A and B are shown apart, each in its own frame.
Chain A
Amino acid sequence: MTGEARISLSGRPDFEAIAAWVAPEATVLDLGCGDGLLLKFLAASRAVKGYGIEIADENVLACVTHGVNVIQGDLERGLQGFDAGSFDYVILSQTLQAMRHTEEIVLEMLRVGRQAIVTFPNFGHWQARWQVAFGGRMPVSKTLPYEWYDTPNVHLCTIGDFERFCADHSIRILERVVLHAGQRVAFLPNLLGSLAVFRFEKRH
Chain B
Amino acid sequence: MDPRDATLPRSVGAVAPRQMRFAEPIRLTGGAAIDEYRLVYETYGRLNAARTNAVLVCHALNAAHHVAGHYADDPANIGWWDNMIGPGKPLDTERFFVVGLNNLGGCFGSTGPSSPNPKTGRPYGSSFPVVTVEDWVNVQARLADRLGIGRWAAVMGGSLGAMQALQWTISYPMRIRHALVIAAAPRLSAQNIAFNEIARQAITTDPDFHGGDYYAHGVVPTRGLRIARMIGHVTYLSDDAMMEKFGRVLRSGKLGFHFDVDFEVESYLRHQADKFSSYFDANTYLLITRALDYFDPAEAHGGDLAAALAAARAKFLVVSFTSDWRFASARSREIVKALLDNRRDVTYAEIDAPHGHDAFLLEDPRYHALVRAYFENAAREVGADRGDAGGAPLEEGEPVRVATGGGLAA
Contact = CB atoms under 8 A, between A and B. Distances in A.
Are A and B subunits of one complex? yes
B377 interface: yes
A70 B366 CA distance: 15
Nearest to A70: B347
B266 interface: no
A81 B306 CA distance: 13
A61 B373 contact: yes
B310 to A, nearest CB: 16
Contact of B347 (A49, A71, A81): A71
B343 interface: yes
Given A51-B340, A65-B373, A71-B336, A57 B366 contact: yes
A27 B343 contact: yes
B370 interface: yes
A61 B347 contact: no
A51 B347 CA distance: 8
Contacts of A57: 349, 351-352, 366
Interface in A51-85: 51, 57, 60-61, 63-65, 67, 69-73, 81-83
B346 A64 contact: no
A64 to B, nearest CB: 4
A156 to B, nearest CB: 29
A25 B345 CA distance: 14
Interface in B319-374: 333, 336-337, 340-341, 343, 345-352, 366, 369-370, 373-374
Contacts of A72: 348-350
Nearest to A67: B377
A60 B333 contact: no
A64 B374 contact: yes
A71 B346 contact: yes
Contacts of B343: 27, 49
Interface in B356-399: 366, 369-370, 373-374, 376-377
A67 B374 CA distance: 8
A51 B374 CA distance: 16
Interface in A19-75: 27, 49, 51, 57, 60-61, 63-65, 67, 69-73
Contacts of A63: 347
Q: How large is the interface on A (under 10, 10 to 19, 20 to 34, 35 or more residues)?
A: 10 to 19
Given A51-B340, A67-B377, A60 B349 contact: yes
Interface residues of B, number: 22
B216 to A, nearest CB: 52
A44 to B, nearest CB: 15
Contacts of B370: 60-61, 64
- Of A51, A64, A82, chain B has the most CB atoms within 10 Å of the CB of A64
A155 B34 CA distance: 66
Contacts of A67: 377
Nearest to B320: A72
A64 B366 contact: no
Contacts of B349: 57, 60, 72
B377 to A, nearest CB: 5
Contact of B348 (A27, A61, A70, A82): A70
Interface in A83-129: 83, 86
Nearest to A29: B340
Given A51-B340, A57-B366, A81-B337, A71 B348 contact: yes
Nearest to B337: A81
Contact of B369 (A27, A61, A69): A61
A32 to B, nearest CB: 16
B192 to A, nearest CB: 21
Given A51-B340, A57-B366, A64 B347 contact: yes
Contacts of B376: 65
19 contacts: A51-B340, A57-B349, A57-B352, A57-B366, A61-B369, A61-B370, A61-B373, A64-B317, A64-B347, A64-B370, A64-B377, A65-B377, A69-B345, A69-B346, A70-B348, A71-B340, A81-B333, A81-B336, A86-B341
Given A49-B343, A71-B336, A72-B350, 10 more contacts: A57-B349, A61-B366, A64-B373, A64-B377, A67-B377, A70-B347, A72-B348, A72-B349, A73-B348, A81-B333
